[in-house]
Amino acid sequence: MRAVLGETFRLLGHHLHLFTLLALTVWLPTHVVLNYLEFFEPGEDAAGRALRIVLTAQVVLDPFVVSAMLSALVRIKRGTPVGYWQALADGFNAWPRLMLVRFMVIWVLLMPSLGWLAVYTAGPAVQLVGGAALVGLSLLILVLLVRRSPRGAGPPRSLPASAGASSGPPPCSSC
């Protein structure tokens, strides 16, 4: 655990400028627009409008920032040079896949909640059977989300072999 945290803070310290620029790419313009609207267009529903803007930006643009940061981290771990524009381009290419995954995860996590609402208003027999089914579904989702890979298993197929290895410090030409 200590080694992972040490590597994390080392990577963050050496590439803070890149990670800051990637995050500010989305959030600086969003907050400029938000502050402009709050200052120059105050209205009765200003708080609701601000919340809608922030939530829309978070739902739509956060996967873009995350994918750009993950692509930058993959390049850093491989020891290849990474720049701001390259990380943005890689993030933009991966953005649709991350949006799809985010959408699917949200719906998978919401299904038991929506099911509980439907079961709550049903009759006693349906409540018992539906409640048992939803408990089973909730436990299955929990197991799928929390499961661990067996010992000795390699990195996930989407990561390069060097990203899952923990035999030593990764090669990093700019660190």
11-20 pLDDT, tens digit per residue, is 888 888 999 9
The number of folded domains in the chain is: 1
| Mean pLDDT, the chain, integer | 78
Residue 8 belongs to a domain = yes
Residue 157 belongs to a domain = no
Residue 119 belongs to a domain = yes
The mean per-residue pLDDT over the stretch 62-73 comes to 89
pLDDT score of 159 = 47
What is the pLDDT confidence band of residue 33, given thresholds at 50, 70 and 90? confident
Residue 30 belongs to a domain = yes
Domain containing 127 equals: 2-147
Q: Where are the alpha helices (DSSP H) in 41-123?
A: 46-78, 84-120
Residue 153 belongs to a domain = no
pLDDT score of 21 = 92
Residue 136 belongs to a domain = yes
pLDDT digits (tens, 9 = 90+) for 98-149: 888 888 877 777 777 777 777 777 788 887 888 888 888 878 877 877 776 5
Residue 163 belongs to a domain = no
Distance CA 103, CA 111 (A): 12
pLDDT score of 101 = 81
Cα 17 to its chain centre, rounded Å, is 20
Distance CA 172, CA 74 (A): 11
Report the Cα–Cα distance between both ends of the chain, in Å, rounded.
21
How many other CB atoms are there within 10 angstroms of residue 68's CB atom? 28
Using an 8 Å Cβ cutoff, are 113 and 93 in contact? no
The mean per-residue pLDDT over the stretch 56-83 comes to 88
Distance CA 124, CA 130 (A): 10
pLDDT score of 134 = 81
Residue 106 belongs to a domain = yes
Closest CA to 71 of 144, 160, 175: 160
Sign of CA dihedral 86, 87, 88, 92: positive
